[in-house]
Amino acid sequence: MLQKGDTAPDFTLSATPEKMVHLKDLRGKNVILAFYPADWSPVCSDQMALYNEMLHYFDKYNAILLGISVDGAWCHAAFASARQIHFDLLSDFEPKGAVAKLYGVYEEKRGLSQRALFVIDANGIIQWSYLSPVNENPGADGILAALENLKTN
């Protein structure tokens, strides 16, 4: 898993069947990457709902949140609509888990992203990372602490 001080690997993933997100286009903003195993699972649903509620806090730190899983763009679209998610859910679908592999958080045996968080600064450097047990919602405290640390440095 990539750690503090590593350069965040660039990627391009689908946010919707019509919209692509390029990490490099977000330079100048802080970026939160929330890798998660699957849409619709109970823990993932709770985690994404929490982050949805936290968006206004992330905005205060000039931070963009991106959820990433191996689910397809249509699955993400249905999940986001049903759960009223207001941030991009990116599809690491084909080749399956390619971006999760770049970040060192792909679980080959199950074919899923692990539950992992990264805070990337405006220059594209990872400033904080955390690998959570798959059955636990990691919450937002670590993300907020990392963003606050960016603000004070």
Residues near 45 by beta carbon (within 8 Å), at least 6 away in sequence: 39, 83
Task: State the SS3 of 59-122.
Answer: HHCCEEEEEEECCCHHHHHHHHHHHCCCCEEEECCCCCCHHHHHCCCEECCCCEECEEEEEECC
The Cα–Cα gap between 153 and 98 comes to: 32
Query: Per the residue annotation, which of 43, 44, 126, 150 is the catalytic one?
Result: 44
- Concerning whether 44 is annotated as a catalytic residue, the answer is yes
Query: CB–CB of 30/120 below 8 Å?
Result: yes
8 A C-beta contact, residue 51 and residue 67: yes
Tokens of 6: 């590593």
Catalytic residues: 44
